[in-house]
Amino acid sequence: MMKKFVIPSILAAVLMGNMPIAEAQVSSADSSHDWWKHAVFYELYPRSFMDSNNDGVGDLNGIASKLDYLKQLGVDAIWITPCYLSPQVDFGYDVSDYENIDPMYGTLQDFDRMEKQAKARGIHIIMDFVMNHTSDQHKWFVDSRSSRTSKFRDWYIWRDGKASGQPPNNWISNFGGPAWTFDSTTGQYYYHFFYPQQPDLNWRNLAVKNAMFDVTRWWYKRGVAGFRLDAVDTLFEDPALHDNPVLPGKNQYGDPNTKNEYNDKLPEVHDILRGLRKVADEDGAVLIGETWTNDIAELRKYSGAHNDELQMPMNFMFTMVNELSAPKFRNQIAMADSSAGWPVWVISNHDIQRSYNRYGDGQHNDAIAKLMAGLYLTLRGTPILYYGEEIGMENNDPKRPEDVKDPIGRLGWPKEKGRDGERTPMQWDAGPNAGFTSATPWLPVPASYATHNVATEQGNPDSVLQFYEHLLALRHRNQALLDGSYVALNQDDPDVLSYLREYRDKVVLVVLNMSGTGQQASFDLTAQGFSGHSITTLLTTATHKKEEPTTNEMHLEPFEVYIGTLSK
Ligand code: NOJ
């Protein structure tokens, strides 16, 4: 696909004209860097990315047809959420064969073709490894449930009830109801942290470990560059099955609130992660973790005591800052930055309401979408961009319970409407179904697709998409943004979040006005060897031409992103 390259007037000058030559290319000084530290990752939900065969559901050939778009955007790696054979109870997070592609997405040959085409463009493929559980239709579980003496019996967690009609303990499924389901064939209960159709694997069984490690080897041989590991927190359970502490109140499904003390983040998980990492290292692969943690110490544990576990544990604490608050984001960044380890920034995903809705104020949503981009794409660390964030896609939550596709939304309605809203089809153009399919799409697109779609935004210099493209282009060629340290500035400012990224003599200043009013900022950079310096603008969302700003005086428009460079 040839890109119509339209440079916005304000940005044209800063991007083309004023860009110092030295910044045009990242030096090779850091070529020993792990590739994923300089990469921009893109999470895509295959059901919703692009439908090539017009059945209303996206597929691998659809993804392949959009690789040029992703390249143009500045994406280096795509994480595809599960596309393996699956009954689709949890839309692919219930795998019935780890070494095959679900026919709704295509074939292994389609996968290989897509992988080659991606590689030709320098784009890595990351698969999703659903390791906590399989589908109840997986042949291992089908055999396991068939008899107490099945060879696969101990591949899952089977236990007697406490008493007749009573599950083994009080553990509650994350998706509602008890975490135990009785199976009358063998008269025992099996454990499932998620849906009953997702029985937990028994990771204490060496045979499970070997079989699952082999799955990763099989995909590495096919050219996969790494895995995003699903639900790693819950791989292990207390073998003594102690009851979890009961807390006051009920959850959205009407179950008693409990604290997952005995079935979440057990220390044994680290042995498995070390093992998986060894296998990954044989192929130079990267492991990304779905790591839901309460604090940074917990998150860092996932890197391993000797950096021998996950290279990229995702920081979800960032997604829990649910307001545009400079102090709150500053605090989060400081925590992530102060701990050893490479931060991994996420602002949205297929389980979390889109950032456009979480931070938008209803009036300046596009400006705020750019502001959020200006934040997570300029921090020290690796960003993972959720598909559609780059065009300002919004949640399209179901309006009626009968429209809900995600089972948790049906169970928890109206308190829990499920995750359909953040999984709607990618908006490619202003035509029917946003150009995603000519059939009825599996989920409806929001009305805002008419303005927020790739084709329209490619033609609009002020669009969210063009801002993302310019920002990612800048990030890729600017050594300070890639490798520089993070230095917080003006830490008491309640409205403006500002920081330096400093790499040797290269310094980038990032200034984010998180408020809806104009702000004045000034920066004392004497500690960094600057005083009253003028700044060369690299990128800004300002709509009025700025006087060339100095460190002593900078005026910021509401929700402005300002990125400039200083040289000594
Ligand atoms: C986390 C995944 O992100 C989510 O979509 C899924 O439902 C659960 N794990 C269960 O696999």
Mean pLDDT per 10-residue interval, the chain, length 568 residues: 31 34 41 86 98 98 98 98 98 98 98 98 98 99 98 98 97 98 98 98 98 98 98 98 98 98 98 98 98 96 97 97 97 92 96 98 98 98 98 98 98 97 98 98 98 98 98 98 97 98 95 98 90 89 84 94 90
Give CA–CA dist 147/413, Å, rounded: 37
CB of 326 closer than 8 Å to CB of 494: yes
Residue 500 Cα to chain centre, angstroms: 25
Q: Separation of 355 CA from ligand 1 center, angstroms?
A: 19
- How far apart CA 213 and CA 552 sit, in angstroms, is 56
Distance CA 302, CA 310 (A): 6
Pocket test for ligand 1, best of 93, 346, 384 (most atoms within 8 A of CB): 93
pLDDT for 86: 98
**Active site (annotated) includes residue 416:** no
Mutate to test the pocket of ligand 1, among 351, 386, 406 (most ligand atoms within 8 A of CB): 351
- Assign 3-state DSSP to the chain and report helix, strand, coil percentages, each to 5: 30, 20, 50
Residue nearest to atom 11 of ligand 1 (CA): 93
Catalytic residue among 261, 282, 295, 524: 282
Catalytic, 351? Answer no
Q: Select from 133, 136, 193, 194 the residue to mutate for testing ligand 1; criterion: most ligand atoms less than 8 Å from CB.
A: 194
At residue 519's C-alpha, the angle toward residues 551 and 525, to 5°, is 20
Q: Which position among 230, 233, 390, 457 bears the catalytic label?
A: 230
Neighbours of 65 (CB within 10 A): 16
What pLDDT shows up at residue 525? 92
Indicate which atom in ligand 1 lies nearest the CA of residue 419: 5
Query: How would DSSP label each residue in 87-128?
Result: --TTTTSS-SEEEEE-TTT--HHHHHHHHHHHHHTT-EEEEE
Strand partners, 183: 188
- On the question of a cis peptide bond just before residue 414, with omega within 30 degrees of 0, the verdict is yes
- pLDDT value for 408: 98
| Ligand 1 pocket by Cβ (under 6 Å) | 90, 93, 130, 194, 230-231, 290, 350-351
77 touches 67 (CB < 8 A): no
Index of the ligand 1 atom closest to the CA of residue 349: 3
Ligand 1 atom with the shortest distance to the CA of 132: 11
Strands 519-521 and 485-489, bridge-based pairing: unpaired
H helical segments located in 105-256: 108-120, 139-144, 206-221
Distance from residue 495's CA to the centre of ligand 1 (Å)? 35
Report the amino acid identity of residue 88: Q
What is the Å distance from ligand 1's center to 130 Cα?
8
Cβ contacts of 521 within 8 Å, gap of 6 or more: 490, 493, 496, 498, 511, 554, 556
Check residue 32 and give its pLDDT: 55
pLDDT of residue 549: 85
